[in-house]
Structure 1
Amino acid sequence: MKAVYISIVAIVLLVGCGESKKPTKNAVKKDSAPTPSTKVQPQSTNSIAQEQSEPDKPKYEIWEAASLGAIKIVNELLDTGVDVNSLDKRGRTPLHWASTEKVIRKLIAKGSNINSKDGRGMTPLHCYIIEDKKTEEAKILLEAGAKVNSTTSSGHTPLHYATSNNKFKFVGFLIENGANTNAKSNSGVTPLHSASLSDDYRIIELLLSKGAQVNSLTKDGVKLFANGTPLDWAQKANKEKAISLLRKNGAKTAKELQTK
């Protein structure tokens, strides 16, 4: 059963920005495809050799400075004419990487696109959910016009990311700000489907209390989860407490729905 669960999690986990650990000077990791469990930083061209051969080149790219929370460097770069909406190799703006409120506010004040999407369709709000950001920082985005139900190329909203990454506080925060509890991805996955695999059962309770449909079905294209309800997911992942909680709220398996 453990092997099956690992396979399930591998399929369900959403690919995100990565949990950013502030990079140190001259020690930024190379560009790689990030996942919620992979710590990555923005691509930088910074190196000792390069600094020596190009002495007039800024020591930091703006994405790296934003990730470091280096407001002074961000200001200097913007003052020299660096585009606030510059895209890195993943298609992300400095706002996707911003790690402090000061940097976030500065970038927004300079005209950063709040709803800019990277190569996977992720907005800064999606990224803030899966990184070590506070709801206060995400609130700045929403106050500036971030779309709480914006979808990635696979149809996932920020709420999908919050539930699949066990971010209970963010789940509540997003719902309070208008997140759709029944939003469906391209494969028909809802936040409750993702929450059924979570070990934080408060997320399931919260979603159900806010109108999440307990028997929503996924589509045929979801491997191992084709035409599955949240209860089907919980059963395949052997989440006994989730199973019990869903049952108490009227949950059924897809097979049970067919024989109704």
Structure 2
Amino acid sequence: GCASGHEEVVRVLLDSGADVEDHNKYGFTPLMEAASAGHIHVAKVLLEHKNDINTRSNKFQKTPLTLACFIEPAEMLRLLLETDTNQEYKSYEMHAALIAASINGHMEVARLLLDSGAQVTMTNSSETPLTFAASRNLVNLAQLLIERGANIEEVNGDGYTPLMQAALQNNEEMIVLLLSEGADVNAFRNRETKETALVMAENSCLEIADLLIKAEADNEFFISLMEEGYFDFV
């Protein structure tokens, strides 16, 4: 009933003693099923019966809050955000949801999360919303994240800055935005491997390389790497 949105069926089952925290074969609770399908009326019934918003799925550790961020419009997410829960848990989950919104380019979801206090940066997270937005050329979302305080030089778990991610994916519009916001074109991912945004653009079209060079990328350093046989630029 939760996945298909049958509110009255769910209510009857719960009144008959059905376990509100029961997990299905995919490890989802009834509230997770309702959240992922966008069935807001079913979710309200489940919350009335104290379905735990903090519960995680058996696989991939999903929660109702992170599952709801895949749905637009964002009414399901709004309902869950208004539900009382542990604040430390909520802060972590809102950041995780913001990352998911950045992966999917859901502006409405991202804006709601930010308005509700989601942190654009968390010290214990290996990924950042801005690097995800940069890799997918989601310019409007990246602009929103920057306006809300995203660190333009923050690196993800692999050491990439947003500009590096944009260069890797040949995202010209994103590169223009990040450079206009002051991104360091000569930042190193790793000094031992000598990787900069320009180096990462080795397989990009020449327009990308030219854009970075005009932004004062260290072209002499790049040429020296070519002379050392570091890579063949095409």
TM-score by length of 1: 0.68
Map Cα deviations across residues 212-236 of structure 1 (whole Å, 9 max, x no partner). 0001111268xxxx3300000001x
**How many angstroms apart in 1 are the aligned matches of 2:212 and 2:123?**
26
Deviation at 1:57, TM superposition (A): 5.4
- Runs of 5+ in structure 1 lacking a partner? 1-23, 27-50
Deviation at 1:162, TM superposition (A): 0.5
More helix by share: 2
Deviation at 1:104, TM superposition (A): 1.0
Contact 2:201 2:209 in 1 (8 A): yes
Is the alpha carbon distance of 1:210 and 1:82 closer, same or farther for their aligned partners in structure 2, counting shifts above 3 Å? same
Match of 1:116 among 92, 97, 100: 92
Task: State the one-letter code of the partner of 2:78.
Answer: R
Aligned partner of 1:180 in structure 2 is: 151
Contact 1:71 1:103 in 2 (8 A): yes
Aligned pairs for 1:136-147 within 5 A: 136-147=108-119
Matched, 1:88 2:54: no
SS at match of 1:74: helix
Structure with higher RCO (Cα < 8 A, 6+ apart): 1
Matched, 1:245 2:211: yes
Task: State the one-letter code of the partner of 2:92.
Answer: S
SS at match of 1:86: coil
Further displaced range: 174-183 or 60-69:
60-69
TM-score by length of 2: 0.74
Match of 1:67 among 26, 36, 49: 36
Aligned partner of 1:79 in structure 2 is: 48
Deviation at 1:88, TM superposition (A): 1.3
**How many angstroms apart in 2 are the aligned matches of 1:257 and 1:148?**
36
Deviation at 1:93, TM superposition (A): 1.7
Aligned pairs for 1:1-260 within 5 A: 25=4, 56=18, 61-89=30-58, 90-98=60-68, 99=71, 100-112=73-85, 113-117=89-93, 123-131=96-104, 133=106, 135-150=107-122, 153-154=125-126, 156-219=127-190, 226-235=193-202, 237-252=203-218, 255-256=221-222
Map Cα deviations across residues 76-95 of structure 1 (whole Å, 9 max, x no partner). 11111111121113222211
Task: State the one-letter code of the partner of 1:84.
Answer: I
Count of residue pairs the alignment pairs up: 201
Deviation at 1:108, TM superposition (A): 0.9
Contact 1:192 1:214 in 2 (8 A): yes
SS at match of 1:64: helix
**How many angstroms apart in 2 are the aligned matches of 1:239 and 1:150?**
34
Map Cα deviations across residues 3-35 of structure 1 (whole Å, 9 max, x no partner). xxxxxxxxxxxxxxxxxxxxx749xxxxxxxxx
Is the alpha carbon distance of 1:178 and 1:195 closer, same or farther for their aligned partners in structure 2, counting shifts above 3 Å? same
Map Cα deviations across residues 235-255 of structure 1 (whole Å, 9 max, x no partner). 1x2332211110111112694
Aligned partner of 1:16 in structure 2 is: none
Percent identity over the alignment is 31
Query: Which of the pair has more CA radius of gyration?
Result: 2
**How many angstroms apart in 2 are the aligned matches of 1:213 and 1:250?**
9
